[in-house]
Structure 1
């Protein structure tokens, strides 16, 4: 078995599944967003805001290199949860492919939409905040606008992920533990 790399749209359950799988297999768990924060002292959103997409992608690539070196030094496999946009970071994906099995956690669009939209805040002046950058940059006026932006984004992103990964596992409609078992079984087949 190789390292299990969980990929997918924001809020599809990568971190949750990663922690469950790592416990079931007694493997270390890494979340690339947490590794970025540990390495830089800043959240991924702060890096993206301060240094733009290029700066963030560099930090993400460095986090993937760190995990690869860490697991190689210890001669172990691991479970890795990636950020939702890693599919756009070719260098980071290539690093992960070099030592892991890439697994796309496919979730129904309505579930992903509800999870993303519930985090959006409507400020007293009517403006929206706390949105993913890919939604914010399109300046939605309402939560409904943000949902329409997410729809287009979701459709495009699913296609990209399916082309990149080794396995696709649908995680809609099953319990967290059942999904973890499905992922483990698929990776070991």
Structure 2
């Protein structure tokens, strides 16, 4: 079984994922970092040089491959779930999908809406809100568990995720 963390930018997927994997004694994979490693450059450069479509192709390949490897704890980029192949792979019973939910205020304080997040470059607050409105139904539909992360210590979020996973076995 693997635990897959989904949610918007700033939800804490990478931070919570690393702590959760440590507590479970399993590997942790951040698919955004895996995409950058495979491409040999930052995601923002892929967006600028090749476009979003090229990034999504690479992202889909990395995520579907990671899901097939039963990775332990996996953190997905915020938009990965919007790709039909990724959503279908997440429906596999081997994966426990956890939606880390966050408000825009908490997300903004965490990510600062900087240039490393290419979809948030122009009017970042409006872009984040628009993306969240579009993605929330998919996050909710795919998740076996939803955990709010706003104004909480990552360790507290991990505790809630672990409790929720035990409860939903």
TM-score bucket (shorter structure): 0.7 to 0.9
CA distance in 1, matches of 2:140, 2:51: 26
User: Compared with structure 1, are the counterparts of its residues 64 and 149 closer, same or farther at alpha carbon in structure 2 (3 Å cutoff)?
Assistant: closer
Structure 2 vs 1, CA of residues 95 and 49 (structure 1 numbering), >3 Å: closer, same or farther?
A: farther
> Conserved in 2, the CA contact under 8 Å of 1:113 and 1:151?
no
State the partner residue of 2:77. Answer: 83
- In the TM superposition, residue 115 of structure 1 has moved relative to its aligned partner by 3.2
Alignment of 1:133 with 2:115, yes or no, is: no
Q: Please say if 1:38 is aligned against 2:37.
A: yes
CA contact (8 A) 1:3 1:79 kept: yes
Distance 1:176 1:183, change over 3 A: same
| DSSP-derived class of the 1:115 partner | helix
Shift of 1:182: 0.6
* Counterpart-to-counterpart distance in 1, 2:161 and 2:106: 19
Q: How far apart in 1 are the matches of 2:81 and 2:74? A: 14
Partner-residue secondary structure (3-state), 2:69: helix
- Any stretches of 5+ residues in structure 2 without a counterpart? none
Within the candidate set 144, 147, 167, 1:166 is matched to: 144
- TM-score under structure 1 length normalisation: 0.77
1:97 Cα deviation after fit? 3.1
State the superposition RMSD in angstroms. 2.1
Structure 2 length-normalised TM: 0.85
- Is the 1:64–1:95 Cα contact (8 Å) retained in structure 2? no
What's the CA shift string for 1:22-42, capped at 9, x where partnerless? 010101000001211222222
What per-residue deviation string (whole Å, max 9, x for no partner) do you get for residues 29-78 of structure 1?
Answer: 0000121122222222222223322211111111123323433xxxxx50
Find the partner of 2:91 among 94, 97, 120.
Answer: 97
Q: Quick one: distance in 1 between partners of 2:38 and 2:117?
A: 22
Cα deviations by residue, 1:111-148 (Å, 9 ceiling, x for unpaired): 113334x244xxxxxxxxx2633333xxx4xxxx4323
Decide which moves more: 98-107 or 157-166: 157-166
Question: In structure 1, what is the Cα distance between the partners aligned to 2:95 and 2:12?
Answer: 19
- SS in structure 2 at match of 1:102: strand
